Amino acid sequence: MIENLHVTIEDYFQKVEELKNDGYEMMVDLTAIDWFRKKDPRFEVVVNFLSVSKNKRISIKVKLNDDLRIPSITSLYPSANFYEREVFDMFGINFENHPDLTRILMPDDWVGYPLRKDYGTGRIPVQFKNAPKVD
């Protein structure tokens, strides 16, 4: 039911503009996937659009280059604002021309991008060596 569309990073902004003129009123979701050591290029941005007048959904997938830059679509869809900040926060992807590209969920001075696959989950290793003995 959801139409999938793969576009290159050069056509991305233009394609989104076309969709907006085509009657896709809402951008409902924007997220990224980290294909660490699985695929090349590593990062992929997925944007979901919804047309309430036509009752249709479309999903756009963009593969990023190594510089991790992608044009921001905030000027077309203001709802992309928080989502792009979240993806920047979690994956370190830079959205060009975003009005306020800062961390949104993590603290401002946080180092690292938590949803990347090479970022550990922060488990504390359990040492059984010095555990008290049970008689």
Partner 1 sequence: MEENNDTIKDIDLWATNSEEGGWNISSTDEGSQKMLEQEDEVTTKIQMGSEVIDDYFIEDDISDDERMILNMGPQHPSTHGVLRLQVELEGEVVRRVQPVIGYLHTGMEKTGEELNYFQGPTNTTRMDYLSPFFNELVFSLATEKLLGIEVPDRASTIRILMTELNRISSHLVALATGGMDIGALSMMIFGFRERELILDFFEKTTGLRMNHNFIRPGGVAADLPDNWQKDIEEILKVIPKKLKDYDEMLLDNPIWQGRLKNVGILTTEECFAYGITGPSLRASGYAWDLRKMQPYSGIDKYEFDIPVFEEGDVFARWRIKVLEIFESLKIVEQAMGNMPKGPYKIQDKKITPPPRKRLDESMEALIHHFKIYTEGFKVPEGEVYTTVESPRGELGCFIVSDGSSKPYRMHVRGPSFCNLQALPVVMSDSPIADAVAAIASLDPVLGDVDR
Q: What does the per-residue mask of binding to partner 1 show for 11-40, with x meaning CB under 8 A?
A: --------------xxxxx-x-xx---x--
The reply to whether 9 sits near partner 1 by the rule CB under 8 A is no
**Closest approach of partner 1 to the CB of residue 19, in Å:** 13
The reply to whether 88 sits near partner 1 by the rule CB under 8 A is no
Radius of gyration of the chain (CA): 19
The reply to whether 68 sits near partner 1 by the rule CB under 8 A is no
Select the residue interacting with partner 1 from 8, 18, 22, 82 (CB under 8 A): 82
**Closest approach of partner 1 to the CB of residue 7, in Å:** 16
Among 80, 59, 55, which residue's Cα sits nearest to residue 70? 80
Q: Evaluate the CA torsion angle 118, 86, 94, 42 in order and state its sign.
A: positive
The reply to whether 73 sits near partner 1 by the rule CB under 8 A is no
Burial bucket for residue 51 (CB in 10 Å: 0-12, 13-18, 19+): middle
DSSP E strand stretches across 35-115: 43-51, 56-63, 69-71, 94-96
Rounded distance, CA 131 to CA 83, Å?
45
Q: Evaluate the CA torsion angle 111, 114, 115, 120 in order and state its sign.
A: positive
The reply to whether 77 sits near partner 1 by the rule CB under 8 A is yes
- Given the rule CB under 8 A, which residues bind partner 1? 1-2, 25-29, 31, 33-34, 38, 46, 48, 50, 52, 55, 57, 59, 77-79, 81-82, 90, 103-107, 114-115, 121
